[in-house]
Every structure is written in structure tokens, then in C-alpha cells.
């Protein structure tokens, strides 16, 4: 009896999920309906244009007369009460990059061709689709949320476990880049103070809370995958990412006078852009 | 319905012909007419891409020559003096004219170092010109570069001076170059004043010169 009940429960959950998926497909498709005849690239452009106007940030403060002339007025500097510790960890990450990550990533990129590195990146990116879908929903971005559901469903299947980006390449459905930290920012949470984590790199209080949220929405966590596997996957993702961006870190830090300050500011600007969906 | 369709087709064809004629007439007399900021940017970027892709300039032994040719184009795209002024913030006004000139030179080298290194790794990535927004003599151009299947947004802020649009700032993934340097410089200016800043930039340039050798 009990057995039967769980079975029933499961099929109920599955049918709800299917129903949601079905509506998501229709919802996402309705948006691209009149551009079906276009090529995938053209579709992608259509969507991104529609997305840009929908987000409602038509007036870019960059073009604002005041900000143009009075450009010395910066946005507030993020508090950094942990600066000595942050600098220590920055130094640690810097050494980790030059002594471990970079040499490993060099060998890695010598062994695996770029197409494969891109496939690995897609795989890990696909695993974050549930977190993105939930966070789009929490920010009231229904269309993006359903798009993420469709992306996850299609890329996990037709895209072969997410190694390919079928949804983008064939249907022109782009990823939304949302996460929990951005949702908190959307509801007005400031960064509060800067944190430079060892291994994880630049963050702030809000985005660190966000990382916990994202972790709970990650399939590895909710499917209760062994922590060794999770840790191994994290290392692989990090090496793979480094292989794809070799040289960028050096160029940025070597042309900054105080690399710590430059990275701190770049992180803040980058996150602000993401939260405002520019 | 069919007839209407034909009519519509004809109509659009007539419009196209008319437009072509207008363009030809304008083009003949207006070749010297100032082009929009996006067109100007595109011409310069195309020029750089051409240099980087030319077969005669391939290879590491040609790197210096390639760099010089790219620089020649870049120098006409940016308003380095304005960028240097803006990156320094209010401290700029406290400098003597000679100090200002010196700083512009150093700042220019720093920017070149940061971007020429990046530009030189260009390998046929697709550049997308999305849109331009113009307001009087100010403009923003939204572009993106597709690198390893990822679209990286690059926005340019430009100002027009005597018919020429010059770059005043650029944002890569929403990170403004000028704002970033202003923050970077500000911390050093506060502790070590202008002399300390000059020394730091000179050291940095020396370092990167040694590394590229």
C-alpha cells in the first residue's frame, strides 16, 4: 500500500513537471513565433533585442548629460572591513593561479581541443539552469524562466547531457545569466561588504548568501551526489574555465597598479551590470 | 489576396528603387559627409582586423611591426587626453601642464599594454554591431564579440569633435575601463600622491616590457 502510494505520488509529480514543461515550451515558443523563419542567429538577435526593451532600462545613465559631465561622481565604494584578510586571500588565489591552476590548465588545453572545452563548459552551465529558472521566476521574468526550463529540458536530452547547446544553436533560446545573488540585489539588497574568498575569488556578503542559494538549486546537491564527486567536478570546471580564458587574468592584473583594488572594483561593476540586466 | 500581394511586392520594389536612387544621389555628392559613430567605429575596427589577418604580418617575429600598425589606427580612435583626465578625477586640476602631459603619455602606454595584448590574440572572432544611441555630440555604441561561442558585450562611449567620433570610455561586460582605473589610481594617489602614481605606472610598464621580451 505504502509502495503504491509513493508510486502514485511520483507519477503525480512527474505529470506536474511535464505540464509545466509543456506550458513553458508554448510560452517560450509564442515569443519567437513570428521569427521562426529566420536563421538561429537572427532569432537570437530578435530575442536579445526584445529582452533589452522588456527590461526597461532604455535610459542608460552613461548617456545622461549629468553623468557625462560630472563623471567624477562614482557610485558608492563598497565597504571593505576585512581588507587585510581579503588581501591575504587575494594573494593566495593569485599564487594558486600561477603555480597550480595555470600550469594544469595549460596541459589540459594541450590535451583536449577547444571544442571539447566548450562542451565541458556547456555541461556545467546546463547544471545551473534550474537555479537560473527559479531566480528568473523570483524576479518576475516569466518568459526568461520558461526559456530556462525549455533550455534545460532540451539541452539535457537533445544536447546530450548539456554538452551541446541545442536550444541556443537551433532555436535561438539564450541563457539568462541569473543567480540568487542577483535576485537579492533585485529586491534591493546591497553588497554590504566585499569578501575575497580563498579558491572562490571576489564576492560580497549578498552574493555569498546567493552562492548558498544557488548551491541548493544545483542538481549535484539536490540529487545528493557524493561530496568527492562534487568537489572533483568543481575542480574540473575551474581548470576548464581557466583553459578557456588563459591570459585574461594576467593581462588585467599586470596592467593594474593595485590589482586587488582593480579586481574589487571590476567585480562590483560587473555584478551591478548583471543585476540591472544591461 | 494574390493581387494585393503582388501590389505589396511592387510597392516595396518601388520603394527600394527610390531609396537606391536617393542613396546614389546623396552618395555622389555626399561622400565627404560625416558618417555616424557606429560606421566610423566599424571602419577603424575593420582596419585593425585587416592588419591582424594579413598574411605578410603573421608570426611572432612580426609582432612589433603588427603592434605599431595597430597602434597607428588606435591612436585616431581614442581621445587619450580626455580619458587620462577623467581617470584621474579631481586631482587632474591640481597638476601643472607638464605633469598633465606626462601623465597622458603614461596612461596611454598603460591602455595600449592592456588592450594591444588582447587584440593581438584576435583569431577571426565575430564582431556584432548591435545599436547606436546618439544624443547631440555624445553617443554609445553597443557591440559584442563572440569568443568561444560566448557573446561578450563591449560598449563604447564616444564624443564628436569636428566631425570625428572619439572613444572616451569602453565597457567590457559592464566594467568601465575609466571607472576601474579611477578607483585603482585613487587609492595610490591618496597614499603616495602624484609622484607615487607616476612611479608605479613606470614600474608597471617596465615589468610588462621585460615580460614581452
Cβ-contact A117, A244 below 8 angstroms: yes
Beta carbons of B185 and A68 less than 8 Å apart: no
**Total CB pairs under 8 A between chain A and B:** 89
SS3 B147: strand
Local confidence band at B14 (pLDDT 50, 70, 90 cut-offs): low
Span between the terminal Cα atoms of chain A, in Å: 54
Residues 178-217 of A with CB under 8 A from B: none
Interface of B with A in 185-204 (CB under 8 A): 185, 187-188, 197, 200-201, 204
Q: How far apart are CA A118 and CA A56, in angstroms?
A: 32
| B138-147 vs B175-176, strand pairing mode | unpaired
Residues of B in contact with A45 (CB under 8 A): 128
Cβ atoms within 10 Å, residue B108: 18
Greater pLDDT, B122 or B155: B155
Contacts of residue A117 in chain B, CB cutoff 8 Å? 148
pLDDT at position B24 is: 52
* A73 in contact with B, Cβ within 8 Å: no
Q: Flag if B133 and A251 touch (Cβ within 8 Å).
A: no
**Which residues make Cβ contacts (< 8 Å) with residue B38, sequence separation at least 6?**
B129, B132, B141
CA distance B46 to B50: 6
Which residues have CB under 8 Å from A250's CB, separation 6+?
none
Chain-chain contact of B179 with A77 (C-beta, under 8 angstroms): no
- Residues from chain A that touch B132, judged by Cβ atoms under 8 A, are none
CA distance A7 to chain B (A): 42
Determine the longest span between alpha carbons in chain A, in angstroms.
75
SS3 B78: strand
Q: Which three cell numbers stand for residue A171?
A: 532555436
Angle between helix A114-127 and helix A142-157 axes, rounded to 10 deg: 130
Q: What is the ipTM of this complex?
A: 0.80
How many residues would you count in chain B? Answer: 213
DSSP A193: B
Question: CB distance A72–B149 less than 8 Å?
Answer: no
Chain B environment of A98 (Cβ under 8 Å): none
- Considering only A101-110, B100-109, B116-125, which range has the smallest mean pLDDT? B116-125
Q: Does B113 touch chain A (CB under 8 A)?
A: yes
Give the pLDDT confidence score for residue B144 in this predicted structure.
Answer: 94
CB B159 within 8 Å of CB B168 = yes
Put simply, the answer to whether B187 touches A261 (Cβ < 8 Å) is yes
**Residue A194 is inside which H or E element, if any?**
strand A194-197
pTM for the predicted model, two decimal places: 0.78
Return the pLDDT at B117. 73
Query: How close, in Å, is residue B171 to chain A by CA atoms?
Result: 10
Residues paired with B129 in a beta bridge? B143
Q: All 3 cell numbers of residue B129?
A: 554591431
User: What percent of chain B is modeled with pLDDT above 70?
Assistant: 83
Cβ atoms B57, B51 nearer than 8 A: yes
Q: Enumerate residues 6+ apart whose C-beta is below 8 A from A27.
A: A142, A143, A146
Cell output for A268: 562590483
Q: Residue B18 has what pLDDT?
A: 59
A64 interface with B at CB cutoff 8 Å: no
Which residues in chain A have their CB less than 8 angstroms from residue B201's CB?
257
> Residue A204: what pLDDT?
96
Question: What is the model's pLDDT at position B61?
Answer: 81
Residue B43 has pLDDT above 80, yes or no: yes
In which region does residue A241 sit, left (phi positive, over 0), alpha (psi from -120 to 50) or beta (all else)?
Answer: alpha
Chain B hits for A269, CB-CB cut-off 8 Å, are: 174-176, 179-180
Q: Which of B135, B140, B184 sits opposite A261 (nearest CB)?
A: B184
Show pLDDT as tens, one digit a residue, over chain A (278 residues): 445 444 445 554 444 454 455 445 545 544 444 333 333 444 444 444 433 433 334 445 666 655 554 444 456 789 999 999 999 999 999 999 999 999 999 999 999 999 999 999 999 999 999 999 999 999 999 999 999 999 999 889 888 888 988 888 888 888 889 999 999 999 999 999 999 999 999 999 999 999 999 999 999 888 888 999 999 999 999 999 999 999 899 989 988 999 999 999 999 999 999 999 86
Cβ count near A247 (within 10 Å): 11
- Residues B66-80 have pLDDT tens digits of 888 998 999 889 999
Residues of chain B with Cβ-Cβ distance to A119 below 8 Å are none
CA dist B63 and B61 (Å) reads 6
| Shortest alpha-carbon distance between residue B25 and chain A (Å) | 31
CB atoms within 10 A of CB B93: 9
Residue A75: predicted pLDDT = 61
d(CA B38, CA B172): 17
What is residue A21's predicted lDDT score, i.e. its pLDDT? 52
Residue B62 has what pLDDT?
A: 83
Asked whether the beta carbons of residue B201 and residue A274 sit closer than 8 angstroms, the reply is no
Rounded CA gap, A58 and B134, in Å? Answer: 13
Cβ <8 Å between B157 and A62: yes
- Write out chain A residues lying below 8 Å of B157, CB-based: 62
A201 bridge partner residues: A197
Mean pLDDT, all residues of chain B:
84
Structure confidence at residue B11 (pLDDT): 59
pLDDT of residue A73: 47
Amino acid at each position: 500500500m505504502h509502495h503504491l502510494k509513493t508510486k502514485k505520488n511520483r507519477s503525480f509529480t512527474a505529470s506536474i513537471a511535464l505540464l509545466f514543461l509543456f506550458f513553458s515550451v508554448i510560452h517560450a515558443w509564442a515569443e519567437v513565433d513570428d521569427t521562426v523563419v529566420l536563421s538561429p542567429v537572427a532569432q537570437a538577435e530578435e530575442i536579445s533585442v526584445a529582452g533589452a526593451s522588456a527590461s526597461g532600462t532604455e535610459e542608460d545613465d552613461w548617456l545622461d548629460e549629468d553623468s557625462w559631465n560630472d563623471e567624477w561622481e562614482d557610485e558608492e565604494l563598497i565597504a571593505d572591513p576585512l581588507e587585510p584578510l581579503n588581501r591575504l586571500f587575494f594573494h593566495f588565489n593569485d599564487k594558486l593561479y600561477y603555480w597550480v591552476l595555470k600550469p594544469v590548465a595549460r596541459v589540459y588545453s594541450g590535451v583536449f581541443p577547444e571544442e571539447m572545452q566548450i562542451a565541458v563548459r556547456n555541461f556545467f552551465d546546463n547544471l545551473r539552469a534550474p537555479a537560473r529558472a527559479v531566480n528568473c521566476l523570483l524576479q518576475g521574468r516569466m518568459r526568461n524562466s520558461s526559456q530556462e526550463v525549455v533550455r534545460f529540458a532540451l539541452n539535457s536530452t537533445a544536447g546530450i547531457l548539456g554538452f551541446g547547446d541545442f536550444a541556443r544553436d537551433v532555436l535561438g533560446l539564450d541563457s539568462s545569466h541569473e543567480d540568487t545573488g542577483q535576485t537579492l540585489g533585485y529586491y534591493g539588497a546591497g553588497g554590504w561588504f566585499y569578501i575575497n574568498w580563498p579558491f572562490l575569488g571576489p564576492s560580497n556578503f549578498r552574493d555569498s548568501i546567493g552562492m548558498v542559494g544557488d548551491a541548493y538549486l544545483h542538481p549535484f546537491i539536490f540529487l545528493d551526489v557524493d561530496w568527492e564527486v562534487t568537489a572533483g567536478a568543481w575542480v574540473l570546471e575551474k581548470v576548464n574555465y581557466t583553459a578557456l580564458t588563459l591570459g585574461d587574468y594576467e593581462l588585467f592584473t599586470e596592467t593594474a597598479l593595485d590589482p586587488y583594488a582593480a579586481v574589487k572594483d571590476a567585480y562590483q561593476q560587473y555584478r551591478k551590470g548583471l543585476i540591472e540586466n544591461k | 489576396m494574390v493581387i494585393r500581394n503582388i501590389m505589396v511586392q511592387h510597392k516595396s520594389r518601388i520603394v527600394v528603387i527610390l531609396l537606391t536612387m536617393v542613396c546614389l544621389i546623396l552618395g555622389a555628392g555626399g561622400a565627404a559627409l560625416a558618417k555616424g559613430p557606429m560606421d566610423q567605429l566599424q571602419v577603424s575596427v575593420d582596419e585593425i582586423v585587416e592588419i591582424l589577418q594579413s598574411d605578410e604580418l603573421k608570426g611572432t617575429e612580426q609582432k612589433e611591426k603588427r603592434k605599431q600598425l595597430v597602434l597607428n589606427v588606435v591612436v585616431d580612435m581614442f581621445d587619450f587626453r580626455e580619458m587620462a583626465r577623467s581617470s584621474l578625477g579631481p586631482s587632474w586640476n591640481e597638476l601643472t601642464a607638464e605633469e598633465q602631459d606626462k601623465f597622458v603619455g603614461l596612461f596611454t602606454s598603460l591602455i595600449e599594454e592592456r588592450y594591444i595584448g588582447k587584440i593581438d590574440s584576435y583569431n577571426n572572432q565575430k564582431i556584432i554591431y548591435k545599436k547606436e544611441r546618439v544624443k547631440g555630440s555624445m553617443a554609445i555604441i553597443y557591440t559584442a564579440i563572440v569568443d568561444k561561442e560566448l557573446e561578450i558585450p563591449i560598449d563604447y562611449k564616444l564624443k564628436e569633435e569636428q566631425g570625428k567620433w572619439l572613444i572616451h570610455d569602453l565597457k567590457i561586460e559592464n566594467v568601465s575601463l575609466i571607472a576601474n582605473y579611477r578607483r585603482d589610481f585613487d587609492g595610490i594617489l591618496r597614499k603616495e600622491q602624484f609622484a607615487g602614481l607616476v612611479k608605479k605606472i613606470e614600474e608597471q610598464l617596465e615589468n610588462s616590457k621585460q615580460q614581452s621580451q
